[in-house]
Structure 1
Amino acid sequence: MADFTSGFWDLFITVLSIAGVIGCALLLYMQSSEKLEPGQKASDTGHTWDEDLSELNTPMPRWWIWLFYITIVFGLAYFFLYPGLGSYPGKLGWKSTGQYDEEVKAAHASYDPLFERYKAMDLKAVAADPQARAIGERLFLTYCAQCHGSDARGNKGFPNLTDKDWLYGGAPETIKQTIMTGRNGVMPSMAAAVGGDEDVANVANYVLSLSNTSHDPVKAELGKSKFGACMACHGADGKGNQAIGAPNLTDKTWLYAGNVETISEGIRKGRNNVMPAWGDFLGEGKVHVLAAYVWSLSNNPAEASAADAKPAEAAAPAADAAASAASAAPAK
């Protein structure tokens, strides 16, 4: 890599750039040196097509020539003002990173107050806000759709976010934590613990039997005892453990596929799924709105907000009655 960061390449680019502009100027000068006097005909190049169509050596119009000269002057001025000649920073000191930083700063000044307002709200309330949900959808389509799909229904190895099946839990705060800090779900290779290929297939059939999915009953019975190696994560009943992201094997929701071949592959080779952390990149305000949107994909925000409001409404009359009783009680 040192060869590509030495001073030679700065000099090479500088010489090549300036030589290109000067070469264009010399070519333009040579091509524009010939002029036609009034009434003078252009010389014939000797090329003829269709028997009578001759190619003439006609000089370019003067306005066209001056337009090219102006372009060359503009190019030289650009090299002087902006970075274009190796490591020369340009007289104005402009940088693309500097412009980007200014644009980001302006964006933060414009949008941060909005995200701060949403961050102070409960996640369910944010999900019930139409504007916040629209913002969350845009964030999702920009940063999450590549893995989970534009419809959020996931893909092989990427969870469906529109159902209520969650590896770590579907509470709004849990979803926010997942987006903020990421997840790393590891299924270790269990081939050695389970046994040979035949035992792996038997366990795979037993796993399918837990959700009443099509399987071989005989092999499932043989694999039941071998499933003991999997209980530490998935539990004796196979219902998983959300604390460590171990999936529930008793439903019909599969991250990869619900068949003997795919399950056997997971037992033999293991799985390693990574959900990247977005907290540092997006900031907590945007993650808050995004988490509310993701939660709304499998829940009804309006119903949730109404349900949360009922206990508060019921508590209000009791609080008023208590206050009245307190005011009426004689002082001791």
Structure 2
Amino acid sequence: MADFVSGFWNVYVMGLVALSLLFCVVVLVANMTKRPEKVEVQGHVWDETLQEYNNPLPRWWLYLFWATLIFSVVYLAIFPGFGTTNQHRGQIAQYEAEVARADQLYGPIFARFQEQDLLAVAADPEANAMGQRMFLTYCAQCHGSAGTGAKGFPNLTDSAWNWGGEPETIKTTILHGRIGVMTPFGSILSGEEIKDVANYVRSLSGLANDSLRAQRGKELFDQQCVVCHQADGTGNTLLGAPDLTDSAWLYGSSEATIIETITNGRQNQMPAFADFLGEAKVHILAAYVISLSKGQ
């Protein structure tokens, strides 16, 4: 029920359950009080003389239905199922109780590391082991178990940070998440112009390129791209615009991939963990991420 934002659904479920039980009671009472003296036939005939009788349900069968109904009422009175009643006995309550016990047991450990500087926590073996376990649980699905990333998911072991690699900035990224958007230029530039820009972008990081196209692409880059990527292509961490002069390519550095990126744009999101993990756990997780790129 916690997934529904309106109290209507609570009343709806309670009404539906109550009406269903009442309907079953009415049907059972009708079958027990109105038992015909003479059994009628249904009118179906097979093999000349074989007919189907409309026999009422046996008493013992009806008693089993009554037992089922009584069990249902007792169950709903003890366990959650009738709207939002008895939620203290449900799975959510059990989960919250387990979390509370874990916080009581491990909370002081997280609090102790939270008081320390991120770089000091990153160098602590105990904190590093804790951070690694959290990373493997919550981050490895996108960034890989070693933090080397994948297509569309940043490599956390190098020195390239779209939003900045300062310790507090990394912590902020994990806490509040990030939304990165690359504007599509397919409706602004022609196919040839996009290819020119792609060659110029490749030239910024020393990749093979068509020099004539790169020269034409620079003019277009200065008109369309410098707002985010700066005139020298080194990017802007305030916007999450990547540095185009290094060797880190989130989606690939081939000419075809860069053309695809410029034409269709890109959009990606780093989820926020502030509400889910809390700042104390994120502090240790951020320190572990910092340790992955230490020395790069």
* Structures share fold, TM-score greater than 0.5: yes
Q: Please tell me the TM-score bracket, short chain as reference.
A: 0.7 to 0.9
- The match for 1:254 among 249, 256, 259 is 249
Structure 1 residue 295 corresponds to structure 2 residue 290: yes
Structure 1 residue 196 corresponds to structure 2 residue 203: no
* CA separation of 1:277 and 1:88: change in aligned 2, threshold 3 A: closer
- The match for 2:115 among 97, 112, 120 is 120
Range moving further from structure 2, 94-103 or 163-172: 94-103
- Paired residues of 1:14 and 1:85 also in contact (CA < 8 A): no
Shift of 1:243: 2.4
- The match for 1:169 among 164, 180, 190 is 164
- The match for 2:16 among 1, 9, 18 is 9
- Paired residues of 1:180 and 1:278 also in contact (CA < 8 A): yes
- Paired residues of 1:153 and 1:159 also in contact (CA < 8 A): yes
AA partner of residue 191 (structure 2): D
Range moving further from structure 2, 200-209 or 97-106: 97-106
Shift of 1:297: 0.3
TM-score norm. by structure 2 comes to: 0.74
Cα deviation 1:275-318 (Å, max 9, x = unaligned): 122112211111110000000001159xxxxxxxxxxxxxxxxx
Structure 2: tracts of 5 or more residues without a match = 26-67
Structure 1: tracts of 5 or more residues without a match = 19-71, 302-332
Partner of 1:209: 203
Q: Distance in 2 between matches of 1:278 and 1:224?
A: 40
Shift of 1:212: 1.6
* CA separation of 1:17 and 1:262: change in aligned 2, threshold 3 A: farther
AA partner of residue 229 (structure 2): H
AA partner of residue 131 (structure 2): G
* CA separation of 1:299 and 1:81: change in aligned 2, threshold 3 A: same
Cα deviation 1:15-44 (Å, max 9, x = unaligned): 8999xxxxxxxxxxxxxxxxxxxxxxxxxx
Structure 1 residue 182 corresponds to structure 2 residue 177: yes
- Paired residues of 1:13 and 1:86 also in contact (CA < 8 A): no
Indicate the RMSD between aligned Cα atoms, in angstroms: 3.3
Q: Distance in 1 between matches of 2:231 and 2:218?
A: 10
Q: Share of identical aligned residues, percent?
A: 46
Partner of 1:281: 276
Range moving further from structure 2, 80-89 or 263-272: 80-89
Instruction: Report how many aligned residue pairs link the two structures.
Output: 250
Partner of 1:226: 220
TM-score norm. by structure 1 comes to: 0.66
For 1:53-64, list aligned pairs within 5 A: none
- Paired residues of 1:235 and 1:241 also in contact (CA < 8 A): yes
Q: Distance in 2 between matches of 1:12 and 1:206?
A: 71
- The match for 2:150 among 155, 179, 183 is 155
- Paired residues of 2:80 and 2:89 also in contact (CA < 8 A): no
Larger radius of gyration: 1
2:100 is paired with a residue of what secondary structure? helix
